[in-house]
Amino acid sequence: MVALAASPPDGSITLVRRAWEPTDLSHAVFAVGAMDDDVEAATFRDAARSAGVPVNVIDKPAFCDVQFGGIVNRSPLVIGISTDGASPVFGQAVRARIEAVLPRGLAVWAAAARSWRRRVSALDLPFRARRRFWELFADRALASPDKLPSPALAAALETAATDMAPASGRLTLVGAGPGDPELLTMKAVRALQSADVIVHDDLVPSAVLDVARRESQRISAGKRGRAPSCQQDEINALVVRLVREGKHVVRLKAGDPMIFGRAGEEIAAAEAEGLALEVVPGISAAQGAAASARLSLTHRDHARRLQYVTGHGRDGRLPVDLCWTALADPTASTVVYMPGATWHEMAERLLAEGLAADTPVLAAGTVGSLASRLATRRWSGPLLILYGNAFGVRADAGGSEAPAMAEGGRKLQPVP
């Protein structure tokens, strides 16, 4: 307050160094008090009310006529947040969360809505058509907040609203990350919150699905090895049909869909049908596993190369065309996706190719001992194994050894 009075903004600020008096409120238009004592707070409130002045006592809702809330400003779109004085800090945290997920480009769209309203009203459209216009407008704004609304768009929306033609569908292929909704990208969140239908993998947890708007339809298209599963052709056909119906379809895949997520097949199917398509990458299971274990995938001295490989071929067996010389290189960090049924064979081949049996593995063991330990453990989800010299750095430096098994692309578990 002293600093503010010394360099006041436009207007008048006067600092008076004394206790307040009831007469101070006689010509006030608003009163704000900061009192620790409830008796003094009550006295201040009563004096303000006697003077006909609305009052706020900071952090004491019982003595307030009004409360101050926070705002998220995308003017002319403005969102207010208030806890009714219960916890201003909590209100600030909620405001920060909304601020982070609400694109700044929405300010331009809100301004366009204001300027277009008279134009739409002048068209004298039936109520249903007017509502259709603004529904289409909102869909465009939320889907592409950084694109500027143009006169051409206004004309296109008018035509669509007047003709009542079905909206053009589109497909967004989204990476759900390793399972923590906090690790979703902001673009992924926006896609989920504008989706009509979400076709999701079995590995996507409910916490991630909860980010989506409540009205969206959720369809599980889970695929599990050696278990009844949706076939890829069936999933492709389902997505194409839904997009053809004019829906915004989010195809939600665990991790990053571009890494062993069969994204190539789904992209090819969408392009063959001429569907509007966007891809939103996610944090891969490998990145999530390494971060959970607090281990770097690369290291200046121990790992100058990073390689991803699948342990599960089309026939469910170990692929026959793997480059074993590269996989047996301990100076590379190697990530093996889906090796649950093939790791024993893979480990034997790696050792035969010269990989040292004491090469660190992101598991509670080493390459030489991991296969037998996996044989005694039943896994409910796909397995992820990481190995290479980089994963022994923390232990060599005297750090605690981290749990080392990634299950379901979501969390690390130690092997007993």
Q: Which residues are catalytic?
A: 201, 223
Rounded CA separation 211/127 (Å): 32
CA dihedral 299, 359, 339, 327 (to 10 degrees): 70
In 3-state terms, what secondary structure has residue 59?
Answer: coil
Residue 117 carries which side chain, given as an amino acid letter?
R
- Backbone torsions φ then ψ of 327, nearest 5 degrees: -70, -25
Enumerate residues 6+ apart whose C-beta is below 8 A from 176.
Answer: 184, 188, 200, 201, 204, 208, 252, 253, 254, 255, 282
Q: Locate 181 and state its tokens.
A: 């909704």
Beta-bridged to residue 325, according to DSSP, are none
- Given a contact cutoff of 8 angstroms between Cβ atoms, the answer to whether 361 and 404 are in contact is yes
Q: Locate 260 and state its tokens.
A: 């062993």
- Given a contact cutoff of 8 angstroms between Cβ atoms, the answer to whether 363 and 415 are in contact is yes
Strand 170-175 relative to strand 277-280, pairing: parallel
Q: Which of 188, 220, 218, 224 is nearest to 201 (CA)?
A: 220
Q: Locate 402 and state its tokens.
A: 């981290």
